[in-house]
Amino acid sequence: MNIIYKLKKIIKQKKTTKYSQLDSEVASAKIKNLTNAIASYGARDENFIGMLTITFSYKDTRISKNDDIDTIKSKTIIMYDSVLFFLDKLKKEMKKNKYEFIYLNAFELQKDGNLHAHIYFSVPLKAFKTLFYFYHNYRDIVPYRTTIKLNKKERTIVPIGRSQLGISDEFRIKLESIGYKFTMHFNPQKPDRVDFRCINFVSESQFKSGNWTTLFFYTNDSFKSAYSEKIVKYLTKNYSKTTKQKVIGNEFNNHHIKTTIENDEWSELQKQFIREVCGKVYTHSKLPVSVYHYQRSRTKLMVIEPRYRNFNSLIEDVMTDKVGIKNNILTLPNGIKFNLKEGVIQ
């Protein structure tokens, strides 16, 4: 019995109606609107953006081809809760150091059925030490399978496996300008793969022992290979830093949340399985405007200001103080006060 068959057995099959395609298209449009807004919110001159990829090791909890359906479900929940706990601890660590952690986390399945996560993030450049230390030393926080309490619920979690912290090469140069140093290492098993060691934090012996964080810097070629030519176009032209961050952030998010957006058989299977077994397919940081209230009142808001059909346009205007917000009441550029929660003009 292969993994695809087992995943399908777990999913409660939903009856297809004439509205199913439309519902799927509306859901995809909402997610794209959100990903653009997150990228706009994270595009800041003082920040750097990147991707955290989280996987799990075989010895901790990974699914094997011989696992029965109940075991697959329980292991998936453990991996899911482990990512949520990782994010919760990281957010608290950032907050403790007075840094805002902007992120969009997308869950996906690997072809063998194992859960992994892609986390777009935007943090101040000076927060690199906090981010790197937390990520590199996370196994000291969760060294083995354990039971914790998260959001008033007891959960079983496991350490994360060997994962990757990916940052644009442009930010490597900026980090080096403020005192960080990096050395390049080639993987003998994978000659085309290059990893970096931050010598400020990781000794060579740690690195060689495997007790290290995979650090990767995206060059134009690797951006093009992993994502799209659109990123390279913006990186090589004379665009502002904020515009470049917004474009790269959008490409990061759209690429890694494609399972949620696309409607092919494998994407649909992943979405249905993750929602059935775990809950949400993606999570994100709090935005200055409530996503829930915006989506509920979007149609009415668009009548007053058509630009706000795009959530990121509203977020950009809030960030630049063109729109004020207090207690879910928007003060629009034309002076109108709009109650986003109630969907009415004040």
- pTM for the whole thing? 0.89
pLDDT of amino acid 18: 47
- Could you read off the pLDDT of 21-65 as tens digits, one per residue? 545 666 777 888 899 999 999 999 899 999 999 999 877 789 998
- Could you read off the pLDDT of 258-290 as tens digits, one per residue? 777 777 888 888 988 999 999 999 999 999 999
Give the confidence band of 19 by pLDDT, cuts at 50, 70, 90. very low
How far are the Cα atoms of 155, 309, 332 from residue 306, in angstroms, in the given order?
A: 44, 6, 12
User: Of 83, 86, 68, 90, which Cα lies nearest the Cα of 10?
Assistant: 68
pLDDT of amino acid 22: 44
- In the predicted structure, residue 12 carries a pLDDT above the cut 80: no
- Could you read off the pLDDT of 78-110 as tens digits, one per residue? 999 999 999 999 999 999 999 999 999 999 999
- Could you read off the pLDDT of 156-215 as tens digits, one per residue? 999 998 788 888 888 888 889 989 999 988 766 666 777 888 899 888 887 777 666 678
- Could you read off the pLDDT of 113-143 as tens digits, one per residue? 999 999 999 999 999 999 998 988 898 899 9
pLDDT of amino acid 1: 59
